[in-house]
Amino acid sequence: MERNDALQIVKKHLTDKRYEHTLGVMETAVHLAETYGADVKKAELAAIFHDYAKFRPKEEMKQLIIDEQMDERLLQFHHELWHAPVGALLVQREVGITDEEILAAIRWHTTGRPKMTLLEKIVYLADYIEPGRRFPGVDDVRGIAAHHLDDAVLTAVKNTIFFLMSKRQPVFPATMDTYNDLIQNGEDV
């Protein structure tokens, strides 16, 4: 699928602000893929479709999580996490993208997971550091991302966990597992 075709499809499902975010994620993912040797086309498509289900009704997403026997722990956490696994499913069904690497990068872009692939790390990080993002710590992660992908992913995961803890919010188990996996595999940021 060509970039412009993908963008036309996804634009119908997003607000103008979220579409701008998507363009930033796409550009960042392409840059990271070029820097770290990932498949640029797959990074581009995963980034374009990463928020495909972002504005689907909560009840629709909840029902798909149940019907498709996704990790039902999702339902115990903030609904903001739901659009990633639901989005991967809907991109496959509605858009016809069947490449599992692309779908996995969409699926895990909010929570991360242990043993993330290069493409999954790129989309996770691109979503976190795209140029429109403004929050404490993002510039540090951007700087790290220029030189070391895994350190940048670890710092982003760590920042996310600290943020959730500071707000007395629960941390999804896959996010904690991502942190632990990165630490246990030699990352020490």
CATH number at residue 46: 1.10.3210.10
When mean pLDDT is compared across 5-9, 95-99, 138-142, 185-189, the lowest value belongs to 185-189
Q: For tokens 């289900």, what's the residue?
A: 53
Does 18 map to a domain? yes
Does 185 map to a domain? no
**Residue 13, SS3?**
coil
Does 35 map to a domain? yes
Cβ atoms of 106 and 84 closer than 8 Å: yes
Does 24 map to a domain? yes
| Cβ-based neighbour number of residue 169 at 10 Å | 11
How many domains is the chain partitioned into structurally? 1
pLDDT > 70: what percent of the chain?
98
Residues 121-154 have pLDDT tens digits of 999 999 999 999 999 999 999 999 999 999 999 9
Cβ atoms of 105 and 120 closer than 8 Å: yes
Q: How many residues does the chain have?
A: 189
Does 60 map to a domain? yes
Residues 49-92 have pLDDT tens digits of 999 999 999 999 999 999 999 999 999 999 999 999 999 999 99
Quick one: angle between helices 138-145 and 149-166, nearest 10?
160
Q: How far is CA 155 from the centre of its chain?
A: 15
What domain range includes position 13? 3-134
Does 64 map to a domain? yes
pLDDT of residue 187 exceeding 90: no
| Cβ-based neighbour number of residue 31 at 10 Å | 16
Confidence of residue 189 (pLDDT cuts 50, 70, 90): very low
Does 99 map to a domain? yes
Does 122 map to a domain? yes
> Residue 185: what pLDDT?
85
pTM for this structure?
0.95
